A = this chain, B = another copy of it.
Amino acid sequence: MTAIYKGVTLWFTGLSGSGKTTISAAVAKEVRLRDRNVEILDGDIVRTHLSKGLGFSKEDRDTNIRRIGFVANLLSRNGVVAITAAISPYRHIRDEVRAMTADFLEVYVSAPLDVCEKRDVKGLYAKARSGEIKGFTGIDDPYEPPLTPEIICHTDRETIEESTQKVLTELELRGYIPSSKYSSSYSQ
């Protein structure tokens, strides 16, 4: 019961409205219940604290993602389950972060654009369609899906609970969190 678990960077990627924030929050909650240290670095938090002043050009987006990767790596190499939940649309930057991170799992939160657009939780797609927002991922800026993500959540045909469980099971199988049957009395 005193197993030591390694930290990991759990990298969610997907379109706006695909369900990254919802699933990552549910995963974080359960991971915390299993006595593991968790931090969520979501896109908005990071843009406030680390990337104020950056815009949404290709270069600024890349810089933003590199910063998230830098901080997630600092946390995960110190035993934390570091969860990131930014759109992170470009494959080469995600792969760059993967290359510099010892423990990295990519979670592709997948839903067709029209499904995400119909949800439009933040009203951003409407603004992108009307031209109020430029360079919006999926509308007038590309989203490059991962080619070999460790986990794929199909949020158009899975419940949130199913997607969350999929991520948790993968974390268990790879030894990053204790199984749900017991809770570790200690974790690093």
Contact = CB atoms under 8 A, between A and B. Distances in A.
Interface of A: 2, 37, 39, 49-50, 52-53, 63, 66-67, 70-71, 74-75, 78-80, 186, 188
Tally of this chain's copies: 2
B80 A67 contact: no
A121 B70 CA distance: 28
- Please list the 6 inter-chain residue pairs (A to B) with the smallest Cβ-Cβ separation, ordered nearest first: A49-B70, A37-B78, A78-B80, A50-B67, A71-B71, A39-B74
A50 B50 CA distance: 7
A166 B71 CA distance: 30
Given A50-B50, A63-B52, A188-B188, A37 B70 contact: no
A70 B68 CA distance: 12
Contacts of A74: 39, 71, 74-75
Contacts of A63: 52-53
A49 B67 CA distance: 6
A37 B79 contact: yes
B78 A50 contact: no
Nearest to A54: B53
A156 B3 CA distance: 47
Given A74-B75, A78-B80, A79-B79, A49 B37 contact: no
A80 B66 CA distance: 22
